[in-house]
A and B are shown apart, each in its own frame.
Chain A
Amino acid sequence: MYVYDKFDNSLVSDRVEQFREQVGRRLSGELTEDEFKPIRLMNGLYLQLHAYMLRVAIPYGLLSSPQMRKLAEVARTYDRGYAHFTTRQNIQFNWPRLEDTPDILEELSSVEMHAIQTSGNCIRNITADQFAGVDAEELDDSRVWAELIRQWSSLHPEFTFLPRKFKIAVTGSPHDRTAVKFHDIGLILKHDEDGNLGFEVLVGGGLGRTPMIGRTVREFLPQQYLLSYLEAILRVYNQLGRRDNKYKARIKILVHETGIDALREMVEEEWSHVKEEGVDLPFAEVDRVRSHFTDPTYDVLPDHDHSFAVKQFEDPMFGRWVRANLAPHKMPGYVIANVSLKPIGGAPGDVTAAQMEAVADLADKYSLGEIRVAHEQNLVLADVKMSDAYSLWKKLDEVQLGTPNLGLISDIIACPGLDYCALANARSIPVAQRLQRRFADFSRQFDIGELTLNISGCINACGHHHAGHIGILGVDRRGEEYYQLTLGGSADENASIGKIVGPAFSNAEIVDAVETVIDTYLSIRANGEAFIDTYRRTGEEPFKIALFGEKQNVAA
């Protein structure tokens, strides 16, 4: 993985000192809370319902085991012994004290971590494929490009006060795991006809209150122009993005109101100048960063392991875990192990300090000392020998991290909701927990099969409800929590936006409503057809009828 040199180290430690000084000015009363707000927001510090919340960046979701141990230490020393992984591969601490935050950041800087640009109207953490480097289908390693963009965008003097926050994702695989089409800029690595490496550049994707799928602004951008092209898009957006209404300020609205063709013209015109202005990196710098992401030395292994096969047969829960949580690795004899942070009845994405330490130890023992964070709020151990998989799972299971539910109905994405968040209209976590309990039976979950269920506690859509096969949106109805159901969303390469089905359900009704949707699917699916494929084949009709009856359906 990327290792800081003296420049990276000095930038991050300078930033800690700068923040310490800024917090000092706040604590001394020199800065009012209003004046301090933009400063703390540039460094991931939010004021939530009950306390400050510190969001720490995990660039493209990659962590070393010492970094994971440090996060555990922070959770234990400065927080209440747990933390929360987010849908942008970051981690949040929910209860830090303001006066401790400089010390927390200093602790983090000792393991090359920071909270720079994890909030504010700037370029946020760059996300990438959690299977980067180990996926056989991958064209190129998205982490290389995400790291280069991370550096370019860090403390960028021109793009620190954009109209709104700005999210960039990079994917190098034909199967998209980054929700690339729901980002302000989505970068898809590809080859041109002559085999040159570059990017398809998408712009204007996003969720929130106006969900939109990103549009292609450039079919093929040669790799050497990545930064100048990004700078051109950001400059057009910084100048023309709306600032009169924060809900219309994301670049997706500019794309929508200007039209993709007109916007493309402006970007290309701007880029024709920027690319001559020395923004792009010399090849030596790209090579330097790439050299941090070369393959480790893998053992030469057979592509089958006898004990691996036998254990699946002997221990059905392990068999389930293999089916749901393991993915093929590019090297024979290795597997990618997804570690579910969605135990039945848990808070999605939450981990305790002890669990973090256990994962760090297991990464050292079984997976070359690295951990990845997926935007679905799970962890990944990417380099596990097939022959070690059973031992790994047993040890994960001892710390409640062995749940065999990846990609199944109980693998729920959920925002923190009204339990923590100042913006939320409704609670997310208790709904997720009730759904997990309702569908706790693993035979039933496997029978239902591949399904994404995403819950947001408000219209800002942090829980990606628009992009879930089933989405749940918390709304406030005269002071009561209600839940709107959406169907048919998808965050992968065939991205789609879920459609609202009928009126919202009460807190008491929502779990039954989801079960009705599931039972309907089971009754109408063709053989081997996943939920999303059934929905795309039949449309919403059968689900609407099941939920609301024929009469309601006619009226709608």
Chain B
Amino acid sequence: MSLLKAGKIITDTWTRIEDDQEFAEAGAVIVSLECWLNESESLRKRNEPIGVSLRNDQSPSQIIDDLEAISLIQLDFPAYTDGRAYSAARLLRQRYGFKGEIRAAGNVLRDQYPLMLRCGFDAFIVNEGIDLAGWQTSVEAMDTPYQPAADNDTRPVWAKRHGIAQAS
């Protein structure tokens, strides 16, 4: 798998730690919500960047008090047809003001990529060898949305119609 961020494939500096795995001495780790809730103290003590992975039946409201300690939240698409993580991403960005990385994992496909960007995802675990230019084309194909979302720099059509600078 590759990591897509800001339109480029980059090296992933994060390590996913399964619940039965030991943490390495150093390095940024992504853990499950259960692991974070059980071991947040020892994770904080490591003094390394912390990422939390949420399944799509886990609400981000469970970590809103911890966001200052978390640098990355990974949200899961077990199938592209399961759209729960879109809501989770918008809540994290727009409601809880999360500024860290929101990473899409699982069945992440080109035709859903623009939707994910609009909902606040900014990193994507994708298949190796994707057609980057094609993915970019998909983003540019529909660039005049009717409604505001988590992409604050994109004004909805109605704001443009009435010369309103910001959506909110």
**Residues of A at under 8 Å CB distance from B?**
5, 7-8, 10-11, 14-15, 17-18, 21-22, 35, 38-39, 121, 151-162, 227, 235, 238-239, 243, 273, 277-279, 281-282, 284-285, 288
Inter-subunit contact A11/B144 (CB<8 Å): yes
Q: Which 5 pairs, one residue from A and one from B, show the smallest C-beta to C-beta distance?
A: A278-B168, A161-B83, A157-B118, A157-B115, A18-B141
| Contact code string B148-166 (vs A, CB < 8 Å = 1, else 0) | 1100000001101110101
Residues of B within 8 A of A277 (CB): 94-95, 168
Residues of B within 8 A of A152 (CB): 146-147
Residues of A within 8 A of B59 (CB): 239
Can you add 4 more A-B contacts, CB < 8 Å, to A154-B146, A277-B95?
A18-B138, A21-B137, A38-B80, A38-B81
Given A11-B144, A278-B167, A282-B162, residue A157 in contact with residue B149 (CB < 8 A): yes
Inter-subunit contact B81/A155 (CB<8 Å): no
Tell me if B111 counts as interface (CB < 8 A to partner A): yes
Q: Which of A21, A38, A238 contacts B86 (CB 8 A)?
A: A238
Inter-subunit contact A18/B146 (CB<8 Å): no
Inter-subunit contact A158/B83 (CB<8 Å): yes
Least distance between A434 CB and chain B CB atoms (Å): 40
| Contact code string B129-148 (vs A, CB < 8 Å = 1, else 0) | 00000000110011111111
Tell me the bound Cα distance from A284 to B138 in angstroms.
32
Name the residue of chain A whose CB is nearest to the CB of B88: A239
Least distance between A419 CB and chain B CB atoms (Å): 29
Given A11-B146, A15-B142, A239-B59, residue A157 in contact with residue B114 (CB < 8 A): yes
Least distance between B126 CB and chain A CB atoms (Å): 14
Give the residue among B109, B112, B160, B161 with the most A Cβ atoms within 10 A. Answer: B161
Inter-subunit contact A282/B146 (CB<8 Å): no
**Residues of B at under 8 Å CB distance from A?**
59, 80-84, 86-88, 90, 94-95, 109, 111-112, 114-116, 118-119, 137-138, 141-149, 157-158, 160-162, 164, 166-168
* Total cross-chain contacts (CB, 8 A): 103
Given A239-B59, A282-B158, A284-B162, residue A155 in contact with residue B145 (CB < 8 A): yes
Inter-subunit contact A18/B162 (CB<8 Å): no
Residues of A within 8 A of B164 (CB): 282
Q: Which of A15, A153, A243 contacts B82 (CB 8 A)?
A: A243
Give the residue among B94, B137, B157, B166 with the most A Cβ atoms within 10 A. Answer: B157
Inter-subunit contact B142/A11 (CB<8 Å): yes
Given A238-B84, A238-B87, A243-B82, residue A279 in contact with residue B148 (CB < 8 A): yes
Inter-subunit contact A288/B146 (CB<8 Å): no
Inter-subunit contact B111/A39 (CB<8 Å): yes
Given A39-B111, A281-B158, residue A157 in contact with residue B145 (CB < 8 A): yes
Residues of B within 8 A of A7 (CB): 144, 157, 160-161
Residues of B within 8 A of A158 (CB): 83, 86-87, 90, 115, 119, 149
Least distance between B110 CB and chain A CB atoms (Å): 9
Inter-subunit contact B144/A14 (CB<8 Å): yes
Residues of B within 8 A of A273 (CB): 95
Inter-subunit contact A157/B86 (CB<8 Å): yes
Tell me the bound Cα distance from A239 to B145 in angstroms.
23
Least distance between B83 CB and chain A CB atoms (Å): 3
Least distance between B82 CB and chain A CB atoms (Å): 6
Least distance between B81 CB and chain A CB atoms (Å): 5
